[in-house]
Amino acid sequence: MDFKNNDLSKVMFERHSVRRFDTSVKIPREELETMIKEATTAPSACNLQSWHFVVIDTPEAKERVKKSVMKFNYPQLDSSAATIFIVGDTQSHLVYRDVWNKVREAGKITQERLDQILNTFLPLYEHADQSFLTLDATMDCAVAGMQLLLLARAHGYEANPWSGVDFKTIISTLGLDPKRYVPVMAVSIGKSAEQPLKTERYDVKQLTEYL
Ligand SMILES: Cc1cc2nc3c(=O)[nH]c(=O)nc-3n(C[C@H](O)[C@H](O)[C@H](O)COP(=O)(O)O)c2cc1C
């Protein structure tokens, strides 16, 4: 992988939310798609991959989504080269067979193993209620979102995750079906135009227990 920054400790431990970007820097859509593709190497529940991405990289699109965005998030939306909305797909199980059929066709698993996987996991999702599907999709998106944040740095950019939106309207504002998709987070990406705040973390001893 031809990363600009391939040092994991620098990518991870020197990451901080950047909310003001250099507006003269654009990111080619090809590179955005590469980053999304790389982010989707993330694990997901049963490999359902319940994520969907909406890229906002034009002034028109930014204006269009603003009505569902909290005002304090306007700076990163306005100045980012691209803001990628990661939304959960609660119907990902409808195409679940395809992903496993590919694995079978590539000869990586036997027909018996394929049947076992589909018979174990598909009924779980086919009979699940919306809150289960929403939670599952949200977790998948969160892991992909974290990957995207690190990948942005690996590609030489900075980023900010944000979820300060109107959860009731954002999905339809993005032109998606609110019965199917659920909001999770946006990731604004670009070249930094600020020195980010070095935030603190709680003491791990207070956070950790052993059972
Ligand atoms: C789920 C989630 C939602 C967030 N929402 C917002 C937001 O709406 N606006 C914002 O400016 N930052 C948002 N953030 C960024 C956090 O404020 C930031 O990650 C935190 O303060 C730690 O700072 P750091 O990212 O610089 O380490 C969000 C982060 C996460 C993970």
pLDDT of residue 209: 98
163 CB less than 6 Å from ligand 1? Answer: yes
Mutate to test the pocket of ligand 1, among 15, 17, 74, 86 (most ligand atoms within 8 A of CB): 17
Residue 208: inside a domain: no
195 CB less than 6 Å from ligand 1? Answer: no
What does the mean pLDDT of the chain come to?
A: 97
Residue 94: pLDDT over 80? yes
Q: What is the DSSP letter of 187?
A: E
73 CB less than 6 Å from ligand 1? Answer: yes
pLDDT of residue 41: 98
**Closest CA to ligand 1's atom 31:** 161
Residue 204: inside a domain: no
Q: What is the DSSP letter of 69?
A: B
Cα(162) to centroid(ligand 1), Å = 5
Residue 152: inside a domain: yes
17 CB less than 6 Å from ligand 1? Answer: yes
Residue 122: inside a domain: no
Mean pLDDT of 27-38: 98
**Domain membership of residue 61 as a residue range:** 8-94+131-193
Read off the CATH number of the domain in which 151 is found: 3.40.109.10
Residue 201: inside a domain: no
Residue 72: inside a domain: yes
pTM of this structure:
0.97
Q: Structural domain tally of the chain?
A: 1
pLDDT of residue 143: 98
**Pairing state between β 82-89 and 158-162:** unpaired
Residue 12: inside a domain: yes
pLDDT of residue 142: 98
Residue 1: pLDDT over 80? no
Q: Which atom of ligand 1 is nearest to the CA of 196?
A: 26
Residue 198: inside a domain: no
What confidence category does residue 22 fall into, taking pLDDT thresholds of 50, 70 and 90?
A: very high
pLDDT of residue 2: 85
Task: Say how far apart CA 103 and CA 55 lie, in whole Å.
Answer: 29
**Closest CA to ligand 1's atom 19:** 17
Task: Say how far apart CA 211 and CA 202 lie, in whole Å.
Answer: 20
| pLDDT tens per residue across span 192-203 | 999 999 999 999
Q: Which amino acid is at 105?
A: E
Cα(115) to centroid(ligand 1), Å = 42
178 CB less than 6 Å from ligand 1? Answer: no
Task: For Cα atoms 134, 142, 79, give the angle at the middle one, nearest 5 degrees.
Answer: 115
